[in-house]
Amino acid sequence: MQGVEASWWSVVLLLVSLKASPCLPQDSLPECICASDILSCTDANLTGPPSEMPVSTVTLDLSHNRLQQLEGGGFEELYRLETLRLSHNQVSAVHPGAFRNTSRLRHLDLSSNQLRTLEHHFFLDVPMLEELLLFDNRIVRVESRAFAGLSGLKKVYLSHNLLTDFPFFSLHSQPHLSTFDLSSNRLNRLPLQDISNLPMILQRNLYLHNNSLVCECAMFSLFRVWEQQGFPSMTDFRKDHVCLVFAIPRGTVRFFQHDRYFEKCDMTSIQQEGNVSVKTGGRLLLHCVTSLARRQLTFHWVSPRQEYVAPPGNNGTMRMFPNGSLEILKAKSNDSGIYWCLSLDSEQRRNESHEVNVTVLPLQDDLSEPFNTGFTTLLGCVVSLVVVLMYLYLTPCRCPACLKTPSPVTATPNEALIGSAQSSILTPTPPTTTEGPGRKVSTNNKHVVFLEPIREQQNGRLRAATGGHLGPGLLSGGEQQTKNQPNTPAMLP
């Protein structure tokens, strides 16, 4: 117990010593606490910055007060100021010169206030600013030059505002920007080309979840690629990525959990993997993926035709951006092949290479032409087969009642033997219709010739060919007895 009481008294003495610290003018700031180079005036019911503050202040905390405006010159005596916390106030306006003479400021917290716009003059006097907190305001508009001149800016937090659009192209001038939070706003459509041209390190930490985005294939494709590459902006807030089906507010879809709405999307045009494809005439954006820090990087591309490509591009067919991205404006069949990218860090004398295999797919009409040709050939074959079957089975048969009994024809044994066999097997029509006096050639009866012996039973007896005889070797066994019968023609039924 004695140890606990001693520690408690040490805390009390520390607070008393802070109150009586010589860094504050005597009795000038009774609500503030000063310790070394830190001045804290939180929850002091202040309506503006204290009139007298130590010039040695490096960290100033004025959060949880009632500040409504930041007047010009309010912090101009704090030339060593590096961290300024103004959260949880009622600040709605920042006048020109509000941060005059605070060029060393690195961390500025303006969260949980009532700002409505970010104008270009807000941060002109803080060129070394690295971290800017603006979440939980009422910001509806950000001017395109709001962050101009902030070459050292690394992190910006703009979540929980009322933004419906944002000038993403203005972020290209921020070489060190690595985190940008635009979550929980009212963004409905994204300028995907401007976003795709951002440095890859910024894309990894570009937070866009919990907005009012309209469900589009291009948007989903970009986010899917980010998820596949393990970007924290996707993986850490996977359940919070939503979009509106047909822009209906109540038609919200958590598209990473229920992606069936995007099943028919063409994912090839925005792929960032090593193998990508695009349709003929389509646009394709290739990124030069590198792990090098983006300070003094230069990029070069080499096309499959050994064509050297550097910004701004070549001959109107390829366009290259300063961040290393290469855009094929209208893909052609000869654009297929390996594209090779080199990223070079001149300061650290390091370089990395990246290869992308591009496949240009033909249009649907081109794909359908071989199909149409094959289909036509198949259809022709089917029609031919049908005609043959009709020829075989649908031709009229000879009517036995219309045939007259042929008269005997006298022939030599050799002629009858040979001619009868050939007529019964090889001729298209029976010889009884084409030979003999008074016979006419029949043009109505057609038959198909099969080169095999004809064996038919008629009334229990073998039916011989017209002419009365069968050739030698065509009969066997007991059938040879018919050879000894008189030379009489076989009668048709």
Amino acid present at 36: S
219 in Cβ contact with 195 (< 8 Å):
no
Min mean pLDDT across 201-205, 294-298, 466-470 is at: 466-470
Is pLDDT above 60 for 256? Answer: yes
Cα–Cα distance, 4 to 18 (Å, whole number): 21
Q: 129 in a domain, yes or no? A: yes
Look at 12 and 101; give whichever has higher pLDDT: 101
Look at 414 and 158; give whichever has higher pLDDT: 158
Mean pLDDT for the stretch of residues 91-114: 95
Mean pLDDT of the chain: 75
Are 311 and 199 found together in one domain?
A: no
Last residue of a domain, one of 233, 268, 303: 268
Are 241 and 291 found together in one domain?
A: no
Q: What do you get for the CA distance between the two ends of the chain, in Å?
A: 135
Chain centroid to Cα 426, Å, comes to 69
Q: How many residues in total does the chain contain?
A: 493
- Tens-place pLDDT, residues 366-404: 545 555 666 677 888 888 888 888 777 776 655 555 555
Q: 452 in a domain, yes or no? A: no
- Tens-place pLDDT, residues 318-341: 888 777 788 888 888 888 888 888
Are 35 and 156 found together in one domain?
A: yes
Are 319 and 191 found together in one domain?
A: no
Cα–Cα distance, 82 to 102 (Å, whole number): 8
Could you give the residue ranges of the DSSP H alpha helices within 181-260? 192-196, 200-204, 217-228, 232-235
Share of the chain above pLDDT 90, in %: 31
Look at 249 and 61; give whichever has higher pLDDT: 61
142 in Cβ contact with 166 (< 8 Å):
yes
72 in Cβ contact with 98 (< 8 Å):
yes
Q: 216 in a domain, yes or no? A: yes
Mean pLDDT for the stretch of residues 405-432: 47
Helix (H, G, I), strand (E, B) or coil at 260: helix
pLDDT at 176: 92
- Tens-place pLDDT, residues 338-354: 888 888 877 766 777 77
Are 325 and 469 found together in one domain?
A: no
Cα–Cα distance, 166 to 158 (Å, whole number): 11
pLDDT at 371: 53
Are 263 and 289 found together in one domain?
A: no
pLDDT at 260: 67
Are 331 and 346 found together in one domain?
A: yes
Are 57 and 118 found together in one domain?
A: yes
Mean pLDDT for the stretch of residues 226-241: 89
CATH code for the domain of 39: 3.80.10.10
Min mean pLDDT across 44-58, 179-193, 237-251, 467-481 is at: 467-481
Assigned token pair, 91: 């600040």
Give the DSSP H or E segment for 202. Answer: helix 200-204
- Tens-place pLDDT, residues 127-155: 999 999 999 999 999 999 999 889 899 99
The DSSP bridge pattern shows strands 284-286 and 33-35 to be unpaired
Look at 1 and 314; give whichever has higher pLDDT: 314
81 in Cβ contact with 60 (< 8 Å):
yes
Q: Which residue, chain included where needed, has tokens 């099943």?
A: 263
Are 315 and 236 found together in one domain?
A: no
Is pLDDT above 60 for 178? Answer: yes
pLDDT at 42: 93
Most trustworthy range by pLDDT among 156-170, 223-237, 347-361, 384-398: 156-170
Are 200 and 297 found together in one domain?
A: no
293 in Cβ contact with 376 (< 8 Å):
no
Cα–Cα distance, 92 to 72 (Å, whole number): 14
Mean pLDDT for the stretch of residues 87-101: 95
Last residue of a domain, one of 268, 297, 330: 268
Q: 377 in a domain, yes or no? A: no
Range of the domain at 469: 424-434+461-473+486-493
- Tens-place pLDDT, residues 435-485: 444 444 444 444 433 344 444 444 444 444 444 444 444 334 444 444 444
Cα–Cα distance, 327 to 333 (Å, whole number): 16
Share of the chain above pLDDT 70, in %: 65
How many domains is the chain built from?
A: 3
Closest CA to 245 of 229, 224, 259: 259
Helix (H, G, I), strand (E, B) or coil at 203: helix
Last residue of a domain, one of 211, 244, 268: 268
pLDDT at 184: 95
Are 142 and 263 found together in one domain?
A: yes
Are 200 and 341 found together in one domain?
A: no
Q: 79 in a domain, yes or no? A: yes
Helix (H, G, I), strand (E, B) or coil at 328: strand
Residue 23: pLDDT band with limits 50, 70, 90: low
Q: 415 in a domain, yes or no? A: no
Assigned token pair, 356: 């992308």
Residue 80: pLDDT band with limits 50, 70, 90: very high
**pTM across the whole model:** 0.54
Q: 373 in a domain, yes or no? A: no
Q: 394 in a domain, yes or no? A: no
pLDDT at 332: 85
pLDDT at 174: 87
Where are any strands of DSSP class E within 220-377? Answer: 243-244, 252-253, 275-279, 284-286, 297-302, 308-309, 313-314, 318-320, 326-328, 337-345, 350-361
